[in-house]
Amino acid sequence: MPSSRLTFDAWEGTYAPRMDHLRHSAVRDLFAAVSRPNVIGLSGGSPDISSLPLDEVAECARSMILEEGPKALQYGGSDGRIQMREIVCEMLAENGIDVSPDEMILLAGSQMGLDFLGRAFLQPGDTIICEGPTYLGALQAFSAYEPNIVCVEMDQDGMRMDLLEETLERLGPRGAKFIYTIPNFQNPTGVTLSLERRRRLIELSHEYEIPLVEDDPYGRLRYEGEHVPPMKSMDPSVIYLGTTSKIFAPGLRLAWMVAPKPMLAHVNLCLQGAGLCVSSLSQVMAEYYFTRTDWKATLEKIKDVYHERRDAMLDALAESFGPEVEWSWPKGGFFVWLTLPPYFDTDQMMSVALERGVAYVPGRNCFPDGRGKSSMRLAFCYEKPEKIREAIARLSDVVSDRMDLYRAFLAAGALPEPEPSAQIGAHHDAPKTLFVRNGR
């Protein structure tokens, strides 16, 4: 018979205080549960690697070792290989971003860039501004530096500029270290920042002398609507992050930051201290893939796959949920943001959902202050359409059971009448909302 045993940490009390502020990754914490065969994972934003032409990728790997093995297997410069930076410059130019290789540094994933921004800019108590909700990985990266994170509410056109202006008026010039935004198919909501608001955001960043960080992992993954130019194409002072993770392979851990040169010098120092340089092997592999395959045709096929899965999720939500439940309508990217009535707590509901065989990210993980308890992030990028439909049906059953229980307690007078929720999308009389009802 197994015996329970307590494990004590002999080093308790010797860790730096900053460790107390580090956040867990809800997605990574769910990996073990999602790996169970009966669980359908709508939690992680994992790209569909199965759609890649693996025979061509294998040939790239073979040619890379035969032709450039001594360089690919060696240390590299901390800026990144000039060949890869030139390729990225060509890719960015297609979206109107005109930069040179010396305005860029390569990174081991965009997450590294977020951490370096925190390391270079933040002292404990410094303020940064984000969308609310925002990318949970950004909150995790920034948390080690103990900032005060101010979240600005969103609607269907992205971060609300009226609320941002109120925030900036309160903070004053240079009152925040930077404004962080994911303008294209935002993680976790799927919402896209409108062109008008992009222009106003740039104006405000200059007016209040606060750097603007544009994180753009999903920009090439549009399934409907017109392309919206990146803010970096409108303003060279914008700090721009991009990655190969969503258009090739996240396992490479290869990304880039484009920024003013003095700022890049500080980021370079962070990179040298953290890992000396980015993997030369990953860089050469990406160089071969983006120059020796028809990667754009492959990307179009992958987009068709994601488009079908998005439609499957939106249709299933419309079929399974009533007017009490609301969700976003992404025109690209990987995610849908769903909000239940305010008496729900999606953290508490997670254990029941996992028992029923479906996983999601509780919304509270996407705020720094505990908001979002009745919301969740749903990823449609990884599972096939039939699995997505089954997952939404399971989730609907969980929600229906809890709604029935709540109404029974309410009718019996065992619970107080609910108060209006203050979180986004909950005010049904709002002029604009992140959400649709019954799928439209």
Q: Do 381 and 45 meet the contact criterion of CB atoms below 8 Å apart?
A: yes
Say whether both 259 and 132 belong to one domain: yes
What's 397's domain CATH number? 3.90.1150.10
Same structural domain, 254 and 305: no
Same structural domain, 302 and 274: no
Same domain, 161 and 218: yes
* 375 occurs within a structural domain: yes
25 and 95 together in one domain: no
Q: Domain span at residue 34?
A: 17-51+298-411
Q: What average pLDDT does the chain have?
A: 87
* Model pTM above 0.75: yes
Phi, psi for 91 (deg, rounded to 5): -65, -40
* 431 within domain boundaries: no
Q: How far is CA 223 from CA 240, 248, 309, 315, in A?
A: 23, 17, 11, 16
Are residues 343 and 407 both part of a single domain? yes
Task: Tell me, yes or no, whether 359 lies in a domain.
Answer: yes
Q: Is residue 322 part of a domain?
A: yes
**241 with 379, same domain?**
no
Same domain, 277 and 130: yes
pLDDT at 271: 86
Question: Residue 339 and residue 374: Cα distance in Å, rounded?
Answer: 6
Q: Where among 292, 316, 335 does a domain terminate? A: 292
Q: How many CB atoms within 10 Å of residue 439?
A: 14
Q: Are 88 and 32 in the same domain?
A: no
- Of 266, 292, 318, the residue that ends a domain is 292
What pLDDT is stored for residue 315 in this prediction?
Answer: 96
End residue of a domain, out of 236, 262, 292: 292
Sites in the chain below the pLDDT cut of 70:
1-10, 13-35, 404-440
182 and 252 part of one domain: yes
Quick check: is 189 in a domain?
Answer: yes
Total number of domains in the chain = 2
Question: Looking at residue 427, what is its pLDDT?
Answer: 31
* Spatial contact of 352 and 396, defined as CB atoms under 8 Å apart: no
273-329 pLDDT tens trace: 878 888 898 989 999 999 999 999 999 999 999 999 999 999 999 999 988 899 999
* Domain annotation covers residue 417: no
What tens digit of pLDDT does each residue of 115-153 get? 999 999 999 999 999 999 999 999 999 998 999 999 999
Per-residue pLDDT, 432: 41
The predicted structure's pLDDT at residue 25: 54
Whether residue 107 is found in the same domain as residue 168: yes
Instruction: Please indicate, yes or no, if residue 437 is contained in any of the structural domains.
Output: no
Q: Is residue 370 part of a domain?
A: yes
Q: Are residues 191 and 315 in the same domain?
A: no
Q: Is the peptide bond before 133 cis (omega within 30 degrees of 0)?
A: yes
Burial per residue of 19-42, b for 16 or more beta-carbon CB atoms within 10 angstroms, e otherwise: eeeeeebbbeebeeebeeeebbbb
What CATH number is associated with residue 206? 3.40.640.10
SS3 readout for the chain: CCCCCCCCCCCCCCCCHHHHHCCCCHHHHCHHHHCCCCCEECCCCCCCHHHCCHHHHHHHHHHHHHHHHHHHCCCCCCCCCHHHHHHHHHHHHCCCCCCCHHHEEEECCHHHHHHHHHHHHCCCCCEEEEEECCCHHHHHHHHCCCCEEEEEEEECCEECHHHHHHHHHHHCCCCCCCEEECCCCCCCCCCCCCHHHHHHHHHHHHHCCCCEEEECCCCCCECCCCCCCCHHHCCCCCEEEEECCCCCCHHHCCEEEECCHHHHHHHHHHHHHHHCCCCHHHHHHHHHHHHHCCHHHHHHHHHHHHHHHHHHHHHHHHHHCCCCCEECCCCECCEEEEECCCCCCHHHHHHHHHHHCEECEEHHHHCCCCCCCCEEEEECCCCCHHHHHHHHHHHHHHHHHHHHHHHHHHHCCCCCCCCCCCCCCCCCCCCCCCCECCCC
